[in-house]
Structure 1
Amino acid sequence: MNKFLLSVHVLAAIIFVGPVTIAASMFPPIARRALLAEAPDAAVLEVLHRISRVYAIGGLAVPVFGLAVAGGMGVLGDYWLIISMILTLVAAALLAFVVIPTQSRVLAAAGAGPDVRTALLPQAKALSMTTGLFALLWAVVVVLMIVRPGSTTGA
């Protein structure tokens, strides 16, 4: 059963976390160009925002199945897993409370006048840093999942 749960956990990470990380990372440069354009086209931004929102919901399966795997392996108290869970929570909070809301504000401003778009430009620029941090957090979690300090896999 643990192999099945691990397979679902890894597949969910690939299918959901990967695309949301890419879409969130692609959004800021396109947003900056759109906010500076005389006649912004928000179609690409809308797609990236939708991917970020929908795949974020699907990404909830990653920690759910991860906890099930950890329980089956008896490693719920291991510090590498606790650190991974904290980093996952921070990444999820960044996505839910910073990235997606900022994307929504940029989309709303894309249809507004030039003054509104210009006023939102600093937030769109800051979004690059936030999405970079989001991606970095996931990279650290992946490394922790592979290396697993104290594991018997020889890593």
Structure 2
Amino acid sequence: MTKLLLSLHVLAAIVAVGPVTVAASMFPPAARRAHEDGTGAGTLRLLHRICRVYSGIGVAVPALGVATGAAMGVLGDAWLTTSIALTTAAAAVLVAFVLPRQDELLEELAERGGVERRNTARLAMFTGVFNLLWATVTVLMVVRPGSTTGA
């Protein structure tokens, strides 16, 4: 059962978190270019929708992760506790900063036909923090410092 849970956890992370990471990273530069061509707003709406939909699906990642950790008997290990905290932080950054800023830029583009560079830079910073948190969680999942379950 542990191998099945771990496989589902990894697949959920790839399928759900991967698209959010890529779409969120593509959004700021696409927003800067949006006024230059007629398809910019459509591209931004698509990227934002990918972020929203796949972040909802991404709830499966920590749920399966906790189930896997329980099956492996490692829920109290420091590397897993740290990963859970970082995952919570990444979700908070996404919900509190990335998605709302994307909404704001879409509104700004609709109202003015373009966006201010400082707004896209701020979104890029929050997106970078989100991506860095997920990268750190991924490394912790692979390395598992201090783990006695093997590497």
TM-score by length of 1: 0.90
CA contact (8 A) 2:44 2:106 kept: yes
Question: C-alpha offsets along residues 62-94 of structure 1, whole Å, 9 cap, x if unaligned?
Answer: 000000000111111111111100100010011
Name stretches of at least 5 consecutive residues in structure 1 with no aligned partner: none
Q: How far off its partner does 1:108 sit?
A: 1.2
**Superposition deviation, residue 154 in structure 1:** 5.0
The 1:152/1:78 distance shift into structure 2, 3 A limit, reads closer
Mapped partners of 1:15, 1:109: distance in 2: 30
Residue 86 of structure 1 aligns with which residue?
A: 85
The letter of the residue matching 2:111 is A
Q: Does 1:130 align with 2:147?
A: no
| Partner residue, 1:8 | 8
**Corresponding residue pairs, total:** 151
Q: CA deviation at 1:6?
A: 0.8
Alpha carbons 1:49, 1:103 under 8 Å: kept:
yes
Tell me the amino acid that sits aligned with residue 58 of structure 2. G
Equivalent positions of 1:7-46 (< 5 A) are 7-34=7-34, 37=36, 41-46=40-45
Quote the RMSD (CA, aligned, Å): 1.7
Identical amino acids, percent of aligned pairs: 55
Q: Give unmatched runs, 5+ long, in structure 2.
A: none
